[in-house]
Amino acid sequence: MNILIKNGQIINPEENQKKYSDIFIRNGIIEKIGINLVCNKNTKIINAKGLTITPGFIDLHSHLRQPGFEYKETVASGTLAAAKGGFTTICAMPNTNPTIDNKNSLEKLKDIILSSAKVNVLPIGAITVSRQGKKLAPISTLSNNGVVAISDDGDDLSDVKLLKSAMNIAKKSKLPISQHCEDPILIKDGHMHEGWVSNRLGLQGRPREAEINMIERDIAIAKELGAHLHIAHISTKEGVMLIKKAKKDNIKITAEVTPHHLTLTHEAVSKPADFQNRKSINYNTNAKVNPPLREDDDVLACIKGINDNTIDAIATDHAPHAKREKEIEFPKAAPGISGLESAFAVGMTLVKSHSITFEKLISKMTIDPVNAWNLNKIHGLEGIGTIIEGNKADLAIIDENKKWVFKKDQILSKGKNNPFIQSEFTGKVVITIHNGNIVYSEINN
Amino acid sequence: MQAKHNKTWKHKHLIDVDDLSIQDCSLVFQLANKYEKALKNKKSISPILKNSNIFNLFFEPSTRTRASFELAGKLLGANVINITSEISSVQKGESLEDTIKTVSAMHSDIIILRHQDSGAATFASMNTNTSIINAGDGSHAHPTQALTDAYTIRKRFKSLKNINVTMVGDIEHSRVARSDIWMLTKLGANLTICGPASLIPKSFHKAQNSKLPHVQVQTNLKKALTDADVIIALRMQTERQKKKSIPSLSEYAKRYQITKTNLQVAKKNCLLMHPGPKNEGVEISREVANSSLSKIEEQVANGVAIRMSLLQLIYTNSGK
């Protein structure tokens, strides 16, 4: 099917331009961008007057859980959630069962993606076998078979010697190494940020030093070896400063931050619930996440990092869990937020509060993550993150002014664990187009 | 003694002391005072909780709290059922949510919950219509102990206003410390917390942190005890410290044990308290623990009266 999108405002972050134009899509490709385009009767026309068209979003960090944890999420359900959130390309973390740590499991995952994914899914390989931090996975082989990065995410790779070897191989394979920076000894038995809230709730803390120490160490090694270090889900102001300095020193380093670390603090864990006769501090497991939500200064530093480009990408760290893993005693609850469907709207709260511009938000969800990992150098992904003629048609169509409430029963992901449930948002993705197909739409015209 | 439906008490559950207003606390103390006298004078107590079902649901070992609740319930005429994790389906892997729902289904009026996870009582209260009384959850809260401690201090000094209270020991892991800190500061006491730096949460040091009660932090025992009216020694929670906080109990005792010598800087006739169970000869020297300063046994007796008071207030306001 061919599609003609009429009268939308196109934002192409790479060129930093805004223009009103029509877009004609034929056979999945953007054939023409221009004014007053006409079409034949076999074309679906989308009236985008008053709407904004951006490149489809790109997520460097999501957990799709398949294979092994299909009760939490599948490639099918996760990519449906992605499409609803405006994402057309998402990178999948390898902490599945089996782990994506060898050619065989990678090929099986690719088969699942081929048969069930609604949007692009780019696999990330594990750094070590079974993510145990003991023995290196065959990184070159994984690279030759299509992983876009390597990571033991969920855990820090604390063995320095292994990390060095991994970085040497990753450098040769031109792969970024995405590190979850939290010192395992310092965070042992910790369930949230160490601060006044953890103290009040009697919960063991995960101190900020756990992140700072590991970022510092990893930067030192990356500097020595010249490998591409990617800091996943940065959460501390000190961490942002370290990355800023490393970039200044021309170390090959990139970084991402999540929507929740840009907007929430540890106080979200104690958000009062509205059930009868309860004034005591609540234990909100939907705000339990690793690294933990921190303090106001940290949130401000992360926003500043977005604005001065210390931080390259906004990434969701989409981490769906089943009800029984979240609606239990706080210390037993699994960490993580199911974030693909709220990411853009949460980002819009920063636009509305004038913390970042709309264009900055779009850049950090499209072209900047592409450039961070050189995704447009991958065969088949040329032009990704931009809107130009000849590109595959991956687009998000946005109603910037739409007011809506994020409701639990409307979440498409199997994971309903999200601290923004019942939040009122302004701005919503209303249509997502991937390879010229409408993969999500909530308008009829 | 009369059963009075008290309209000023509005709490279905008791999760922690920060739910309670100063007026609520006074109400608990007044009623506890009546019960304390009735018990002392062996007066008959009217069975206000007759035909009610109280479940003691204990997932952690306990002597005094469990016995105290059981006795309080029985004195008020309730049916008291004891369930401990060793004899329950928890051993078979039953979740807390299911256990709470199962117990609720047995016409329970009040569940008294002791659990190893911080937040367990909050979680339980969200999953049942039965009243929950928190008898200790992880390192979070132990409200009935805090009310007992406040009551014990109040009996001596009439009011807690400007009373110097020094708490010594493992603040970090102690639920008693947390509830006591909120309770005693709310009632106007000047609170000093003392112990090895590794056992005092960092956030208490930060004076700018207005969301925590104001307390003095002191790592020097002698300074902490100077002019103290009340000293509360806390148990070293070796099971929660996991051997990473202090070198050994004897090292701790050398620097932080309450002894006759270091009590000399405190006010004469100060109160010495310990929520129990004590590590024998660690937190408090044997000599002092057995001296007339010690209110440890009185705390236990007061605990029964406080729990009777709470059971009545919660039961008569749960719509039954």
What is the DSSP annotation of A410-440? G--SS----TTTT-EEEEEEEEEEETTEEEE
H or E element at residue A108: helix A103-116
CATH for B17-142+300-316, options being 2.60.40.3120, 3.40.190.10, 3.40.50.1370, 3.40.228.10: 3.40.50.1370
Cβ pair A278:B122 closer than 8 A: yes
For A56-94, the pLDDT digits (tens) are 999 999 999 999 999 999 999 999 999 999 999 999 999
If we measure between CA atoms, which residue out of A218, A210, A298 comes closest to residue A260? A298
The yes-or-no answer on residue A317 being catalytic is yes
Instruction: Report the chain B residue with the minimal C-alpha distance to residue A203.
Output: B118
Query: Which pTM value belongs to this model?
Result: 0.93
C-alpha to C-alpha distance for A439 and B279, rounded to whole angstroms: 65
Q: Tell me if A242 sits within 8 A of A251, measured CB to CB.
A: no
Distance in Å, alpha carbon of B301 to nearest chain A alpha carbon = 27
- Give the per-residue pLDDT at A273: 41
Top CATH class of B143-299 equals: alpha beta
Residue ranges in chain A modelled with pLDDT below 70: 271-281, 445
Q: How far is CA B284 from the centre of its chain?
A: 19
pLDDT of B1 = 42
Question: CB-based contact (8 Å) between B114 and chain A?
Answer: no
Judged by CB atoms closer than 8 Å, whether chains meet at A329 and B119 is answered as: yes
Q: Do A201 and B16 touch (CB under 8 A)?
A: no
pLDDT at B110: 97
Q: Which of A142, A59, A74, A153 is nearest to A107 (CA)?
A: A142
Are the beta carbons of A275 and B212 separated by less than 8 Å?
A: no
Residue A271 confidence (pLDDT)? 54
pLDDT of residue A323: 95
Predicted pLDDT of residue B91: 67
* Per-residue pLDDT at B211: 76
Whether A192 and chain B come into contact, CB under 8 Å, resolves to: no
**What tokens were used for B110?**
């009040």
Q: What interface predicted TM-score (ipTM) does this complex get?
A: 0.92
Cis preceding linkage at A94, omega within 30: no
Task: Map tokens 């020097």 to a residue.
Answer: B220
Contact A202 B95 (CB under 8 A): no
Residues of chain A found within 8 Å of residue B12, distances taken between Cβ atoms: 276-277
Residue range(s) of every CATH 3.40.50.1370 domain in chain B: 17-142+300-316, 143-299
DSSP codes joined into one string, A162-184: HHHHHHHHHHHTT--EEE----H
Which of A156, A317, A394, A399 is an active site residue? A317
- Look at residue B6 in the predicted model and tell me its pLDDT: 57
Tens of pLDDT, residues A372-418:
999 999 999 999 999 999 999 999 999 999 999 999 999 999 999 99
Q: Give B267→chain A minimum CA distance, Å.
A: 30
CB nearest B119 (choices: A189, A283, A324):
A283
Any CB–CB contact under 8 A between A220 and chain B? no
Q: How many CB pairs under 8 A join A and B?
A: 87
Instruction: With CB atoms and an 8 Å threshold, state whether B119 touches A330.
Output: yes
Instruction: Flag residues of chain B having pLDDT under 50.
Output: 1-3, 320
The residue with tokens 């109603």 is: A399
According to DSSP, the residues that pair with B114 across neighbouring strands are B58
